[in-house]
């Protein structure tokens, strides 16, 4: 199957905005330009710039506005950081890193961090079995210390979601169970919306975040999500994903 428009983060964001069940869980996302970059820097203390069609966190740049008015820029690919004095300087630095011919977006940053300050997100893996979307499992992904993204290719590691919620976020048992149910419901709505636009796709992975106030956010919906995230910590889920791929339709 050809990827086509289904890999467009901007396009998929637009689809999810039209669903009232997912719209309130989306970070603001705009096509990258000097005007939109300035606009987002004025509204938020943390933003991300990324390629519209990237995967595995490739090309992601993190921009944080500091108390002194300067901007701290972290580049996932360079694994380095720099501080610049103005929005214009930050924009020029991003242009120097931006891949030619690629569309980029600028997105509201979501402060999804553990009590330790380490960034994390949660993957929900869905397969359509006999026409019904089924959640195969949830798995947490934690970024390396001071890391920009949680992908394994960038040094991230997996963590069981109950452990993440209970030990790393300090949730009670009841709140942990309720949150896992909410994560699955929001992810399911995301998958159904994207599937209606691209009905030939039978498997999706939804990346979700949780801010300290407990709000759940949708980072993105991934096509052909990897099953290896579950292999070490949830081998049963991993085997079920492999088996159900043959039944997907």
Q: What residues does each domain of the chain span?
A: 4-26+112-245, 29-108
Question: E strands of 96-215, at which residues?
Answer: 104-108, 120-129, 132-142, 157-159, 203-210
| Encoded tokens for 180 | 């896992």
Q: What is the pLDDT of residue 102?
A: 87
Q: In Å, how far are 25, 129, 132, 157, 244 from 247, measured between CA atoms? A: 31, 6, 11, 29, 5
Q: What is the pLDDT of residue 79?
A: 66
What is the residue-wise DSSP string for 44-80?
-SEEEEEETT--TTTT-EEEEE-TTS-EEEEETTTTE
137 Cβ neighbours under 8 A, 6+ residues apart = 124, 125, 230, 234, 237, 240, 241
- What residue ranges of the chain have pLDDT lower than 50? 1-2
- Alpha-carbon distance of 220 to 202, in angstroms, equals 16
DSSP run (H or E) holding 37: helix 34-43
DSSP run (H or E) holding 15: helix 9-17
CATH number of the domain located at residue range(s) 4-26+112-245 in this protein: 3.30.470.20
Q: In Å, how far are 85, 94, 104, 189, 212 from 73, measured between CA atoms? A: 11, 9, 16, 34, 23
- Alpha-carbon distance of 162 to 98, in angstroms, equals 38
- Alpha-carbon distance of 13 to 190, in angstroms, equals 10
For residue 218, give the DSSP letter: E
Q: What is the pLDDT of residue 2?
A: 47
Q: In Å, how far are 41, 117, 179 from 63, measured between CA atoms? A: 9, 17, 29
Q: What is the pLDDT of residue 180?
A: 98
- Alpha-carbon distance of 159 to 4, in angstroms, equals 32
Packing angle of the helix pair 9-17, 173-197 (nearest 10 deg): 110
Q: What is the pLDDT of residue 151?
A: 63
Q: What is the pLDDT of residue 56?
A: 63
- Separation of CA 234 from chain center: 21
């Amino acid at each position: 199957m050809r990827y086509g428009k289904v890999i467009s983060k901007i396009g998929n964001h637009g689809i999810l905005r039209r669903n009232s069940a997912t719209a309130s869980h989306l970070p603001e996302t705009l096509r990258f330009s000097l005007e939109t970059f300035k606009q987002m820097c004025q509204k938020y203390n943390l933003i991300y710039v990324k390629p519209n069609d990237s995967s595995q966190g490739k090309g992601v740049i993190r921009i944080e506005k500091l108390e002194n008015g300067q901007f701290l820029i972290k580049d996932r690919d360079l694994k380095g950081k720099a501080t610049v004095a103005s929005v214009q300087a930050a924009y020029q630095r991003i242009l120097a890193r931006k891949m030619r011919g690629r569309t980029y977006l600028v997105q509201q940053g979501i402060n999804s961090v553990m009590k330790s300050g380490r960034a994390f997100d949660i993957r929900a893996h869905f397969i359509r079995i006999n026409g019904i979307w089924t959640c195969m499992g949830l798995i947490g992904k934690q970024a390396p210390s001071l890391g920009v993204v949680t992908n394994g290719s960038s040094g991230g590691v997996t963590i069981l979601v109950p452990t993440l919620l209970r030990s790393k976020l300090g949730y009670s048992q009841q709140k942990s169970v309720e949150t896992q149910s909410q994560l699955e419901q929001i992810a399911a709505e995301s998958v159904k919306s994207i599937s209606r636009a691209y009905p030939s796709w039978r498997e999706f992975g939804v990346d979700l975040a949780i801010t300290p106030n407990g709000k759940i956010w949708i980072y993105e919906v991934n096509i052909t999500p990897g099953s290896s995230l579950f292999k070490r910590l949830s081998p049963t889920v991993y085997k079920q994903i492999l088996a159900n791929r043959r039944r997907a339709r």
